[in-house]
Structure 1
């Protein structure tokens, strides 16, 4: 679980609720930015469609996104309970598992309410026992309250399926490593497997960093529900952004170590060349002389299973 003193989004949450003038100005800026985006919505839509297509076709990026999503949802599920509705005036309740009542239940942290009693407007309530802040009954618009309710439903669903997402991420990671093992078995190398494992291991701290940043940003937009939503989005996009930097650094290091890189002389043109064994296998012709037929054919999963079975039989 994330302790309060280690979670900057909690500190930011209190600041947001206390500094209403600052938040009003921030809201104006966000509205202005949204209007500017809408002016070029068509152009952005085309660019977004192209980017999404590239993203989905990139299995590595998809794996990072799935792993990040599982980390973000697991982080939320471990720390918060999301409840849509409740009493007649409640729209959304968020309970903090880090603060337990005398009955052993998580204490409510943030509540989005409809107008009721002495508070004739939609508002956010906070629990002083959790935040240390007197409940300011922060006023919000009905549209914001409705959006919070819809987002809360999505967050509630993600919390429920968090174990399944974790299992999916694990299976996807195993699948990706398996693909690279096949390539390495084909090429007589090990670099692809090393890189795949290193990228998966790097995804976890990248997703955690993204989740913390996303929670802080989400808190400034809409305290409570924005905190949790920001955690999810940050955990997904964190690895997608940082992995490119990690990949460049990893490639540089492995190149310096000359892992699966052999200096050879082309048997056709007699020129010296660098054979990247992990890409082409142990080949004796340079890029300019070789053809696709000269590159080792990739071993299939069926062939790998056959080799394993044969190996086991030989030991019996």
Structure 2
């Protein structure tokens, strides 16, 4: 059986009832109908598969992990339990995580997780859950603790997977953007939004600056974290405030990404070609690069409202590889 499949509700139920270890993404309506078992779930209906990238409200994306894990544990955590979350990771293995977008735990993880010295001791990756962007407002982003079949709107759920001693997990990220050399932007608060900022050292209202420069929010802001370019994606620009899908930091200097000609090939040409165990990609990449129906190399996975590769990322492809020692 392939590691990653798009399945019907009945097919997914059978795997759960057979005791399989599963990572599952789908609409809230489908996830609510799953029985208790060894699974971690999250709301997202945007998938990558052999058939191509798509929005699919009738099926579930299922990653089968039973043949990979020597042992596994699925636990939920509040915003106040970040340290315990990190401590519970296996010594030889990795952990999947899912968190609802803009929940308390999402914001706490994004702002605080980099302060923990143990963060990089064991790989951690996953996704920020969302919903169908055309759905009614009563649908809400959620995660699911499979062992109790519980739907959670303000907790993180993690699946800690221990690997055999002969293997190890490795995370790779791919950023389709390059940092531009335009205005130098510095933020005055560590937050998911900003009003006053420094533009080339001069204090300005960021929303006014964006409108004056005809910035719509398609291109992300980029900061250089010790050689790694990290994107911050704009969610919306209001009258006097700009809101982001990830936190900005007072410790970083940001620049707009270089202009890019959006097309599937602009994303595909530079992507790693090796077959990955799991892939998490950004919903903004799905729309910006016009990927609907496009097959993405050898990856099966999800389009998300934020990607985790230790830190919270935006507009970034996150890949998990299982390597032999």
TM-score w.r.t. the length of structure 1 is 0.23
Of Structure 1 and Structure 2, the greater strand share is in 2
TM-score w.r.t. the length of structure 2 is 0.23
Greater relative CO (CA pairs within 8 A, separation 6+): 2
